[in-house]
């Protein structure tokens, strides 16, 4: 399959390689640009744990000089990619919730105590879910440090525009509701709504799929909207592989 990868460039490398290794042609068309907030305040506290809800959060923290003093603090990551980024940054005690923000809140609640100290949530300027609320109702103190911003591109990337216009794309991978909404908006603004009729949408979660399908769930422009069995990259790649195999079987 020929697939549009909408992830930021820093996040797309392993995904592109994995898709190519499974026989797909991956076309990088990032919809977000990542800017680290180097001057943002990083509070100094006796942290019980660090909460990471994206790989970029882990990278933004690792880029700070203060991170050296935090490497022994346990890290609770939302999923595999963010956990891997934390380990690569030198954090020695990393646990993955292997899910979404709610799964992370559940893991933290099960393994930590509100009385053992505050939690540092390393985040972007826009987040999915509110850990402060989810954990606050259970008695945890969560301090959010905004260390990066994912800025949406203003126009559909040229490579995506050309592929859609030529009807030369089989699918698009969408990782977040925000990215799904942005993709649909940019496609519409480019006058390419009709080009999605032959495109499969591969979504990391049901929340992503809801935004890919449209506000009312009835105005889907894609050929089909698929949801990974688990909100993690390997499951999304597995979904792409199964869909491609099914398409080949239909042709034989």
| Cβ within 8 Å of residue 16, ≥6 positions away | 5, 26, 28
Q: What is the pLDDT of residue 217?
A: 47
Fill in the DSSP letter of residue 153: P
225: which strand partners?
Answer: 201
d(CA 170, CA 164): 9
Report residue 30 CA to chain centroid gap. Answer: 12
Neighbour-count burial of 90, counting CB atoms closer than 10 A to its CB (0-12 exposed, 13-18 middle, 19+ buried): exposed
Show pLDDT as tens, one digit a residue, over the chain (252 residues). 999 999 988 888 889 999 999 999 999 999 999 999 988 888 899 999 999 998 899 999 999 888 889 999 999 999 888 999 999 999 989 999 988 888 999 999 999 999 999 999 998 877 666 888 999 999 999 999 999 998 999 999 999 999 999 999 999 999 988 899 999 999 999 999 999 999 999 999 898 999 998 754 445 799 999 999 988 889 999 999 999 988 776 655
Q: What is the pLDDT of residue 199?
A: 96
| Cβ within 8 Å of residue 170, ≥6 positions away | 1, 2, 3, 198, 199, 200
Let me know the angle formed at the C-alpha of 151 by 148 and 211, rounded to the nearest 5 degrees.
110
Domains of the chain with bracketed CATH: 2-31+154-251 (3.40.50.10090), 34-151 (3.40.50.10090)
Instruction: Write out pLDDT tens, residues 104-113.
Output: 999 999 999 9
Neighbour-count burial of 21, counting CB atoms closer than 10 A to its CB (0-12 exposed, 13-18 middle, 19+ buried): exposed
Q: What is the pLDDT of residue 50?
A: 97
Q: What is the pLDDT of residue 207?
A: 87
Instruction: Write out pLDDT tens, residues 38-58.
Output: 888 888 999 999 999 988 999
Instruction: Write out pLDDT tens, residues 44-96.
Output: 999 999 999 988 999 999 998 888 899 999 999 998 889 999 999 999 899 99
Alpha helices in the chain (DSSP H): 9-21, 55-62, 80-88, 101-111, 131-136, 158-165, 177-189, 206-213, 233-251
| Cβ within 8 Å of residue 113, ≥6 positions away | none
């Amino acid at each position: 399959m020929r697939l549009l990868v909408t992830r930021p460039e820093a996040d797309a490398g392993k995904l592109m390689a994995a898709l190519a290794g499974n026989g797909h042609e991956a076309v990088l068309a990032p919809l977000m640009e990542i800017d680290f907030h180097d001057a943002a305040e990083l509070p100094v506290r006796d942290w019980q744990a660090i909460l990471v809800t994206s790989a970029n959060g882990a990278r933004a923290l690792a880029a700070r000089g203060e991170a050296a003093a935090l490497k022994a603090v346990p890290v609770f990551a939302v999923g595999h990619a963010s956990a891997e980024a934390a380990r690569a940054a030198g954090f020695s005690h990393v646990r993955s919730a292997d899910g979404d923000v709610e799964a992370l809140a559940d893991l933290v609640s099960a393994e930590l105590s509100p009385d053992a100290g505050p939690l540092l949530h390393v985040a972007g300027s826009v987040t999915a879910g509110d850990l402060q609320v989810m954990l606050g109702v259970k008695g945890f103190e969560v301090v959010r440090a905004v260390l990066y911003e994912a800025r949406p591109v203003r126009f559909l990337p040229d490579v995506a525009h050309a592929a859609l216009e030529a009807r030369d794309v089989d699918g698009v991978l969408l990782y977040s509701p925000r990215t799904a909404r942005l993709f649909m908006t940019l496609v519409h603004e480019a006058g390419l709504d009709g080009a999605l009729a032959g495109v499969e949408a591969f979504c990391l979660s049901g929340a992503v799929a809801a935004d890919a399908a449209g506000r009312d769930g009835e105005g889907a422009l894609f050929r089909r909207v698929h949801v990974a069995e688990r909100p993690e990259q390997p499951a999304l790649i597995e979904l792409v592989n199964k869909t491609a195999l099914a398409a080949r079987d239909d042709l034989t």
